[in-house]
Amino acid sequence: MSQAVIHNKTVYLAGQVGTGASVAIQTREILATIDALLAEAGTDKSRLLSATIWLTDMATSGNEWGVAVVVVPVRRRRGPRW
């Protein structure tokens, strides 16, 4: 299975899974993998359109956000809001 596919200048990534001991460590691993895959495709997270995080246990919800908020850039929305 391909880890990344490019179609019409859009990069689609396969689901990524971390193996670390905690959700925060797994999140760092996954984001590093995403960085590497996007770099191979000639782009980066600043052009990210969408991301979905799946958790196996909602009790761990929130542990990944401290990591993800620091690593994934936040862009201001341009144009009209619908």
Amino acid 31: pLDDT: 87
pLDDT, tens digit (0-9, with 9 covering 90-100), for 10-67: 999 998 998 988 888 888 898 899 999 999 999 998 888 877 777 777 777 666 655 5
Amino acid 71: pLDDT: 56
Quote the CA–CA distance of 59 and 34 in Å, as a whole number: 25
Amino acid 82: pLDDT: 47
Residues in the chain: 82
Amino acid 21: pLDDT: 86
Q: Which residues of 19-36 are buried (b: 16+ CB within 10 A; e: fewer)?
A: eeeebbebbbebbeebee
Q: What is the dihedral of CA 44, 13, 17, 24, to 10 degrees?
A: 30
